[in-house]
Amino acid sequence: MLFNVPGSIAYADHQTAVRPSLWKYRYVLILLSLLGILICYQLAVVLLLRKSIVLSASSFQGSKIINPYQNWNGEGQEKISLHTHSNEVWFTPERHTVNEIHSEYKREGFANVAITDYGQVSELENSDYIRGMEWGQNLKKRHLLAIGIKKSFYDYFPIYASRENLSWVMDRMKKLGGYVIVSHPKLFDSFSRDELMAIDGFHAVEVYSPFGDDPKVLDSLLGQGRNVHCMASDDLHYFPETSIKKFDQPFWKDLIQTLGNQRSRKGESFLRYIVTAEGIKDQSSVLTALNLGSFYCVKKFFQGAEDPKVPKVTVTKDNTIQLNSKERYLEIRFIGQRGEVLQVNPDTNKAEYSFQEKDAYVRLEMISLTGSILSNAIYRSN
C-alpha cells in the first residue's frame, strides 16, 4: 500500500495541473471557431451576392438639350432634408425622436424630412413623410442612402464588400423603389473618386456633407456620360444645444449625449439640403423630382442666415441657358466638362450662356452672401 500512494498523488497532481490549461485552450478554440464562421460567412456572401458593373461608354451627345428645370413652376421653393438619424434603431437610443426631428426641421422652414436610420425604415413616420434608410454598418463607413424605398434589408457585408457587391446592393435598392445616394464619400475616404468612377448603380453623390465637400466629383462622373446628381445633406445625428434644451428627454439620454461629447455641437443641422419647386414636397412628387434631377443642392454658410434663393433656369429654342433669380448673387459660374469654368458672371441676378457644339453638359454654381447653390446638369441627348 505504501508503494501505491505516491503514484496516486502524482496522478492527481497531474490532473489538477492540466485542467486549467485545457479550459484556457477551450476558450481560445471557441473564439477561433466563431472567427472562422464569420470569415466563411463573409467569403460566401462576397462570392454569391454580386452584380456585374456595366459603365456607359459614351458621353452626352445629340442635338437636343435636356433641362431638368424646364417645367419648374411657381415662384416659391421647398426645402427638403433627406438624411437624418433618429432613436428608432436599437443601438442609438440616445438620439432624437422622429417627432423631435420633424418638429425642429419644420420650425426651420423645411417642407419635408426623410428619416434614414441604419438598416431600417421608420415605422413611426406619417404617410406624408419621405421614407428612407441608410445601408452599411462596416468599419470603412461605406454607406448608401435609399430614398423612397418600400422596405429595408439586412447588410450582408459587415466586414468587406467588393465593387460587385455594392452594385448588387444598389440594384436591390432600386428594385425596392429607392433613389440611391452615395453617402459622405470623403469620410474615411470611403468612396474615392476613382472608385466612384468604377462603380455604377447610384443616382447621386453627397457633395455637401458635414464630413467633407467635393462638388468637383460631379465633373468626373458627368464626364463619363453618367447623369449623376448632386446631393446636400445634414446627416443629422444630434441637434445643437439650443434645440436639445427644449426637448423633454430623460436624464440617461442627457448623460449619454454629454459623455459622448455630443452636446453643444454645431453645424450638423439646417445647413445642407435640397430645394424643389413650389408644391413639390410629398414623397411621390419629391421622388419624381429626384429622378429627373429637378432640384438644387444648397449649403448655407452659417446657422441663422437667410436661405439663399434658388434661380429659375430655362433653355431657349436656340440653346441659350437663361438664369433669373430674386437674389443678387456674388457670382454665377457656368461649368462644363472636366470642371472647366466656361463663364463667370459677378454681382448679378441674371445670366445667359449659349450651349456650344463642344459642350456635352453645363452645370451651374451660384454663390450668395449666405450660401452656395449647385444645379444638376443641363445636357445633350438624342
Rounded CA gap, 81 and 113, in Å? 5
Torsion of CA 237, 240, 243, 246, to 10 degrees: 100
DSSP letters, 38-57, are: HHHHHHHHHHHS--------
**Which CATH topology does 64-381 take?**
TIM Barrel (3.20.20)
Closest CA to 210 of 229, 191, 238: 238
Instruction: Give residue 9's pLDDT.
Output: 46
Which own/partner pairs from 8-15 qualify as long-range (CB within 8 Å, at least 24 positions apart)?
Answer: none
CA dist 204 and 178 (Å) reads 12
Residue 203, Cβ neighbours under 10 Å: how many?
23
Residues of the chain with pLDDT below 50 are 1-3, 5, 9-12, 18
Which has the closest alpha carbon to 293: 338, 231, 249? 231
Compute the distance between CA of residue 224 and CA of residue 296 in angstroms, rounded to an integer.
Answer: 21
Taking 3-state DSSP, the helix, strand and coil percentages for the chain, each rounded to the nearest 5, stand at 30, 25, 45
Q: Phi, psi at residue 205, to the nearest 5°?
A: -130, 135
Identify residue 16 by its one-letter amino acid code: T
Q: Which residue has the cell 426637448?
A: 247
pLDDT tens digits, residue range 121-151? 977 666 778 999 999 877 778 999 999 999 9
CA distance linking residue 18 with residue 270, whole number of Å: 64
- Summarised one tens digit per residue, pLDDT across range 361-373 is 999 999 999 999 9
Q: Which helix (H) or strand (E) holds 4?
A: helix 4-48
Domain residue ranges of the chain, discontinuous segments joined by +:
64-381
Q: Is 111 exposed, middle or buried (0-12, 13-18, 19+ CB in 10 A)?
A: buried
Cell of 349: 441676378
pLDDT at 154: 86
Sequence-separated (6 or more) residues with CB below 8 Å from residue 47: none
179-190 burial: b if 16+ Cβ within 10 Å, else e: bbbbbbbbbeeb
